[in-house]
Structure 1
Amino acid sequence: MTKIAYLGPAGTYSEMAALRYLQLSHPDLEHDPSIMCPYPTIPQAINAAENGNVEIAIVPVENSIQGGVTMTLDSLWQSEALQIQQAIVLPIAHALITRAAILTDIKTVYSHPQGLAQCQLWLDCHLPTVQQIATDSTTDGLQRVAEDGTSAAIASQRAAELYNLPILQFPINDQPDNFTRFLVLGRNTSHRQGTHSSLAFSLKRNMPGALVKPLLVFADRHINLSRIESRPTKRSLGEYIFFIDIEAALPDANCCEALEELKTVTENLKILGSYAIT
């Protein structure tokens, strides 16, 4: 039976992405709770798939407002077995969940760092003096909300319904067009078809023009890069790993040529997967 790891507990946006994946790929399993496996952190969800404890891990990788999810990127670089099977884009609408009757009664707000950041302007305007506490997921603070009438959490409407908690304000995200891209990760390394592909590489030397050569590999072949992001290698200050998304399938002859040349101008190259975006 397929088991899916996601950032839990129930009610997170990652769970919503997992349910969307089931709806699209395994509608017969959509209402089977036994296949849903919540994990307290993103790295733990990814490691569960890496170690074969689950077949699939579904994790956030990029938000349209706050950019890349660093824990996901770092875990992808360290992974030896996982490939991106699919990408799922979900609209994100945050709710202020609290038992407080009015905003001025709220003293503390809990949410994932991404949730807090995506509502920062709203918080500065409406709750400028409250204490903001980061949690491992958007739903982690709901137990405190249930017990304390001066606490609030930023989470989904679904989370409020699951935990039977009232919503005081909705939506509160700063930008109405707020989307998060989730990755479906699995150990099936033969999956190389799709409209987009993701790669990661480190450079041989930190010197002027070092990044230009890898980018020219794609520019010379008219392969469009839809995203590029860097993360520190954690070896030395100023050394980076670069994550890129290209609008090409890995089996394409043009793409295969690009990858062969890319190997000659990078230190380490990882093929993260070729996939469709839904």
Structure 2
Amino acid sequence: MSVSIAYLGPPGTYSEAAALAYVNTLAPQEDSQSWLCPCPSIAQTLHSAARGQSDLAVVPVENSIEGSVVITLDMLWQLDTLRIQQALVLPVKHALLSRALTLEAIQRVYSHPQALAQCQEWLEKSLPSVQLVPTNSTTEALHYLDQDFTTGAIASQRAALLYNLPVLASTINDHPDNCTRFWVMGKKPSSGGSYTSLAFSLPANVPGSLVKPLQVFAARGINLSRIESRPTKRSLGEYLFFIDLEVNTSISSVQAALLELASYTEILKIFGSYSVLEFDSPVALND
């Protein structure tokens, strides 16, 4: 069996680390072969799986410091064919890569907006005057560092090894236990597990319109581990709601809850039930 996995590239990103972690979980399966396909953006990563250009897509969905990765949620709502196969939780330890000799020599720092935000306190304290330049991924701008010794980039220790770049400062994220949850997405039905993710829009923005959908779960003792709102992009004040449940949709009470939920919503999309794999350390991914 061969599996192609799309991820946000270039190589050295945390998404690649998550994809490698997932590949390691496939290793015990007989005749399993996997290859990774870097994509220039999260949107194109998901489109790759939706269009059948890859079998799976690994995308970040939530960070412990910065919260949800909204492009992932927005794209998932748009793409009706993708289902969550697995969730992966990986530690994220940011480093400042640069060929500058000192921090004082750095004038610009590149990275993905999520990484910049996760290191905001450190940047304000250590590099208060630098220009912060957002990029599509943490590794996209690393080639600038060889051309300009006044630039830096926030990326992983693994990226430093891959691109032979010096680490000027390590573990610069604002909280030492920084971690990111990734979803493995594919067109196959979800494999099942103790978590379920779904999203819905409401038929009207009126008082109590959100209470009824939430009471569906409360009445049955179903715990919500996350709820997130996103604009519908149709009209100001209209929202989609993304919810994570700590249940499997195969349970009869959950099926009854989802059936009732559908009567209170305009559009209901169930992204599948799945298990969560947590990785304590990214060290094994540095090979």
Q: Normalized against structure 1, the TM-score is what? A: 0.97
The one-letter amino acid of 1:41's match is S
Describe the shift of the 1:192–1:223 C-alpha distance in structure 2 as closer, same or farther (beyond 3 A): farther
Give the equivalent residue in structure 2 for 1:225.
224
Distance 1:78 1:274 in 2: 19
Distance 1:113 1:198 in 2: 25
| 1:138-149 pair list within 5 angstroms | 138-149=138-149
The one-letter amino acid of 2:24's match is Q
Give the equivalent residue in structure 1 for 2:135.
135
Distance 2:101 2:26 in 1: 42
| 1:1-278 pair list within 5 angstroms | 1-26=2-27, 35-189=35-189, 191-278=190-277
SS at match of 2:204: coil
Unmatched 5+ residue regions in structure 2? 278-287
- Tell me the CA shift for residue 28 of structure 1: 7.0
Distance 2:16 2:139 in 1: 11
The one-letter amino acid of 1:63's match is N
SS at match of 1:85: strand
On the 8 A contact 1:61/1:182 being kept in 2, the answer is yes
- Tell me the CA shift for residue 48 of structure 1: 0.4
- CA deviation vs aligned residue, 1:102-159 (integer Å, no higher than 9, x gap): 1000000000000000000100000000000000000112111121100000000000
SS at match of 2:276: coil
SS at match of 2:49: helix
Distance 2:102 2:191 in 1: 52
Distance 1:274 1:95 in 2: 34
On the 8 A contact 1:100/1:150 being kept in 2, the answer is yes
On the 8 A contact 1:91/1:177 being kept in 2, the answer is yes
Distance 1:52 1:75 in 2: 16
Distance 1:226 1:248 in 2: 10
The one-letter amino acid of 1:87's match is A
Describe the shift of the 1:27–1:141 C-alpha distance in structure 2 as closer, same or farther (beyond 3 A): farther
SS at match of 1:2: strand
* Number of residue pairs aligned between Structure 1 and Structure 2: 276
- CA deviation vs aligned residue, 1:44-66 (integer Å, no higher than 9, x gap): 00000000010000000000110
Distance 1:160 1:146 in 2: 12
Distance 1:27 1:166 in 2: 35
SS at match of 2:86: strand
- Tell me the CA shift for residue 80 of structure 1: 1.5
Distance 1:117 1:28 in 2: 38
Describe the shift of the 1:92–1:206 C-alpha distance in structure 2 as closer, same or farther (beyond 3 A): same
On the 8 A contact 1:192/1:250 being kept in 2, the answer is no
Q: Normalized against structure 2, the TM-score is what? A: 0.94
Distance 1:217 1:27 in 2: 40
Distance 2:272 2:116 in 1: 31
Distance 2:67 2:75 in 1: 16
SS at match of 2:143: helix
The one-letter amino acid of 2:273's match is S
Describe the shift of the 1:11–1:106 C-alpha distance in structure 2 as closer, same or farther (beyond 3 A): same
Give the equivalent residue in structure 1 for 2:282.
none
- Tell me the CA shift for residue 209 of structure 1: 1.0
On the 8 A contact 1:192/1:249 being kept in 2, the answer is no
On the 8 A contact 1:95/1:157 being kept in 2, the answer is yes
SS at match of 1:23: helix
Distance 1:158 1:109 in 2: 18
